[in-house]
Amino acid sequence: MKWGELEDEPCSMARTIGVIGDRWTLLILRECFLRTRRFEGFQSSLGITRHLLAERLKKLVRQGVLRRIPYQDSPKRHEYILTQKGLDLYPIMMAIVHWGDTHMVDIRGRPLLHQHRKCGKDFDPVMVCSECGEPLLAKEVHTHPGPGARRTPASAAPEKPKAKTEAKARTKAKTKATTRRRAA
C-alpha cells in the first residue's frame, strides 16, 4: 500500500491518515492551531526542511485543510490558514496532546496548559458519546459495518486484478449496513 492509495481504503481512519498521517503534517497543524500562518514561521519553529514544508503546505491546501490567502502583492506573499475542515481537526490535536500529557511528561509536568474560555478553567479534553454524553471506553464500543463498508459496492471499480502477494484479507465488514446515522 503506497501513500496515495490510503485515500481509497474503505476506512475513515486510513483516509484521514492519508491526509494528516505523517509527523511533519501533524506538527505543521500544531503550529496552525498556535496561530502560525507564514512559511518562515513554520520553517523556523519546526526546523523542517524548506522543501518538505513547501510540499506539505501544498498538499494541505489541495486537501482543503488550509487555505492560501494573499496578504500582500509584489512580492506575492500568502498566509496559510485553517479552513473549517482544518479547524475540525482540533479534537484530533487535543486528543494527541492529552495522551502526551498523560503518558509522556517528565517530572516537571506539562509543557502547555489549556484554558477553556467558556468556564475559565484549565481543562483536559474528554471524549464522550454524542447520544448519552458518557465518556467513551474502548471496550464499551461495538464496531459494525456501515453503508460504505466494502471497497466496491458490487459495482464501481473492478479491483485491478493484480494477483501479487494477495494481501488484504479484510474480510471483516461484510456489508450489512444497519445504518441509522444522525447528522454528524
Across-strand partners of 69?
79
Residue 74 β-bridge partners? none
Please choose which of DNA, a copy of itself, none residue 62 contacts, taking the beta carbon within 5 to 8 angstroms, the exact cut-off set by kind.
none
Tell me how far the alpha carbon of residue 155 is from its chain's centroid: 29
| Binding to a copy of itself, residues 62-101 (CB under 8 A) | 64, 85, 87-101
Question: How near is the Cβ of 69 to a copy of itself at its closest, in Å?
Answer: 18
Question: From DNA, a copy of itself, none, which one binds at residue 39 (CB under 5 to 8 Å depending on kind)?
Answer: DNA
82 phi and psi angles, rounded to 5 deg = -65, 135
Return the number of the residue (71 or 90) whose C-beta is nearest DNA: 71
Number of Cβ within a 10 Å radius of residue 62: 10
Please give the single-letter amino acid code of residue 11.
Answer: C
**Grid coordinates belonging to 66:** 488550509
Q: How far is CA 170 from CA 17, 73, 184, in A?
A: 18, 51, 26
Note the residues at the interface with DNA (CB under 7 A).
Answer: 1-3, 22, 24, 38-41, 48-52, 54-55, 57, 74-75, 77-79, 164-165
Nearer to a copy of itself, 69 or 126 (CB): 126
Q: Which stretch binds a copy of itself (CB under 8 A): 53-61, 73-81, 102-110?
A: 102-110
Q: How many residues bind a copy of itself (CB under 8 A)?
A: 103
Neighbour-count burial for 72-90, b at 16+ CB within 10 Å, e otherwise = eeeeeebbbbbeeebeebe
Q: Which does 54 bind (CB under 5 to 8 A by kind): a copy of itself, DNA, none?
A: DNA
Closest distance of CB 78 from a copy of itself, Å: 20
